[in-house]
Structure 1
């Protein structure tokens, strides 16, 4: 270890001690396997989209072979979905936690599986910590005298992607989320900015539900 490495190590150690940062706990085998299957499912969905795009430009004979592959991909996706649902149902802790979300529109089976597998910290952190962990906390973009717009980055991209899709559904089908999103749009916020804010709101609501142990339908607005 050279001098610079020792300095870096010292600064990082002081930083962690000052902020009382706890090391990440290793995931159990069950969570690791579930996340691996979710990643595989995502890969299969991407393959399906690619094949659907190729089909549009292919001759009829080639389309038949693509259709065969599309059916195979769908069968595998369905098998993974069934396996994930069974894993959650067999684990009473996961099942009871996710049952608290039953009143929240937009949180489908795939989103629920991602929350369990890739964000086990839900319910253990405060709203700022969980938003930062997922990469939904606005960060300052500054250098010297330059002060740019605050923006989100980093965090757990897979969870953020899943929450994006869930939020698209929630702002249309969940009254509370729809009202929150619409207030921002009516106030002049760009739709993309309003949607990111809604993603953060959705995550904070889920975190609060897991912390309180109260289902969404009885949780008081923040």
Structure 2
């Protein structure tokens, strides 16, 4: 189901790009445009159905873990669902660092031989959908998650870009999720804030 969902998400992105391309042409073919709109609506319907089914399956088997993850300020139900599915209930990974590397939100330095080092960027390997969800969650986490707000403020105050700070927040959210899932304890601001960064 997760692989099929990923396929549909890619198809929807491609369809959206085609719709945009048709609109940019100035005089789009009405037949083509309407066909693409119908295709996008159908993909939206299929995506919603798969996500709903996945959620019901996770609730049957992993309701407690779903509750634990959604107790973290900034983590919504959809992100929690994807985290559980991708990590097989957090059984696939022994450390938070392994999970962050897998999702692709660890900074990597691009360098070639003895050349000057480039800027640190996220690796962008791993699950793109989960990475995007975590990035979106980071906006909310900056407001309501004390540890995430501290990370964001510290990076921005150093003169770094807000985008870099949000990526660091997404990384922090992932580490919090790992700690919460492994400990079996609901989010506690005082407990989570003392976890290693």
In 1, distance between residues paired with 2:39 and 2:113? 55
Counterparts of residues 36-47 of structure 1 (less than 5 Å): 36-47=3-14
**Could you say what secondary structure the match of 1:162 adopts?**
helix
Q: Distance in 1 between matches of 2:161 and 2:114?
A: 26
- Residues 46 and 180 of structure 1: is their aligned pair in 2 closer, same or farther, counting only changes over 3 Å? same
Deviations 1:165-193 (CA, angstroms, capped at 9, x unpaired)? 33244335545423431332122112222
Which residue is 1:189 aligned to? 160
How far residue 209 of structure 1 moved from its aligned partner, in angstroms, is 0.6
| 1:29 counterpart residue number | none
- Matched with 2:63 is 95
Cα distance in 2, alignment partners of residues 204 and 104 from structure 1: 11
- The CA distance in 2 between the partners of 1:198 and 1:210, in whole Å, is 18
Deviation at 1:194, TM superposition (A): 1.3
Which is higher, the Rg of structure 1 or of structure 2?
Answer: 1
Distance change in 2, residues 1:72/1:190 (3 Å)? same
- Rounded Cα–Cα distance in structure 2 between residues aligned with 1:170 and 1:162: 12
- 2:147–2:192 CA contact under 8 A, matched in 1: no
What TM-score does the superposition give when structure 1 sets the normalisation length?
Answer: 0.67
What CA RMSD, in Å, does the superposition of the two structures yield over aligned residues? 3.1
Unpaired runs of at least 5, structure 2: none
- The answer to whether the 8 A contact 2:68-2:187 is kept is yes
> For residue 9 of structure 1, what is the aligned residue in structure 2?
none
Are positions 1:220 and 2:192 aligned together? yes
State whether residues 70 and 80 of structure 2, in contact with CA within 8 Å, keep that contact through their aligned partners in structure 1. no
Shift of 1:60: 5.7
User: Structure 1: which 5+ runs fail to align?
Assistant: 1-33
